[in-house]
């Protein structure tokens, strides 16, 4: 798939084929793509927690009402960055994590999987709850649900000239 096609074809998937397998080779390739993202000063601050067990999926969903689709997805990938909550707010790590998430989503699409990015940061309570569930002292920035899509939503993005300012 060409990049321009992937960008235009990517959708937020909230319905997955429950039990559909995710090849280990694909998961590693998707995580590798995430780690190829640009980051400030090449700091590569991200770490990834792959949520696979049904128990952990339920725990995550209990603290994040907007990612119920994780229950049917093959996995959820929580992207974390180091530091206390205040430290993260002063650094570029949220942008670094965002770039990694976008790479992850495009690579997943290219390999035939659907994804949905569910934000966690900057909600301090949700960040703390998810950090406890996944067993980290790092700051969870977002979780990406990943699996075989069971829907084909229409495109919602489009070019809008009013959003462009030329100076």
38-79: per-residue pLDDT in tens?
999 999 999 999 999 999 999 999 999 999 999 999 999 999
| Closest by Cα among 143, 110, 123, 114 to 29 | 110
The number of beta carbons lying within 10 Å of the beta carbon of residue 18 is 12
Are 144 and 27 a contacting pair, CB within 8 Å? no
Are 50 and 27 a contacting pair, CB within 8 Å? yes
Q: What's the chain's Rg over C-alpha atoms?
A: 16
Report field, pTM of the whole predicted structure over 0.85: yes
pLDDT-flagged residues of the chain (< 70): none
pLDDT value at residue 88 = 85
pLDDT value at residue 39 = 95
pLDDT value at residue 23 = 98
| Closest by Cα among 39, 13, 2 to 154 | 13
Spatial distance between the Cα atoms of 47 and 53, rounded to a whole number of angstroms: 19
Q: Which fold has domain 18-151?
A: NADH Oxidase (3.40.109)
pLDDT value at residue 87 = 85
Could you tell me the end-to-end alpha-carbon distance of the chain, in angstroms, rounded to an integer? 35
């Amino acid at each position: 798939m060409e990049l321009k096609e992937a960008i235009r074809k990517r959708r937020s998937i909230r319905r997955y084929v429950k039990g559909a397998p995710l090849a280990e080779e694909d998961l590693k390739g998707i995580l590798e793509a995430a780690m190829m993202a640009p980051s400030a000063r090449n700091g590569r601050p991200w770490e990834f927690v792959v949520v696979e067990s049904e128990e952990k999926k339920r725990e995550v969903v209990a603290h994040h009402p907007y990612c119920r689709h994780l229950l049917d997805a093959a996995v959820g990938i929580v992207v974390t960055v180091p530091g206390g909550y205040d430290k993260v707010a002063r650094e570029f790590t949220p942008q670094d994590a965002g770039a990694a998430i976008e790479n992850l989503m495009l690579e997943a699409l290219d390999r035939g999987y659907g994804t949905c990015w569910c934000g966690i940061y900057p909600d301090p309570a949700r960040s703390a709850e998810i950090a406890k569930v996944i067993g980290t002292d790092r700051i969870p920035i977002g979780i990406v649900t990943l699996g075989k899509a069971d829907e084909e939503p229409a495109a919602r993005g489009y070019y809008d000239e009013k959003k462009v300012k030329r100076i």
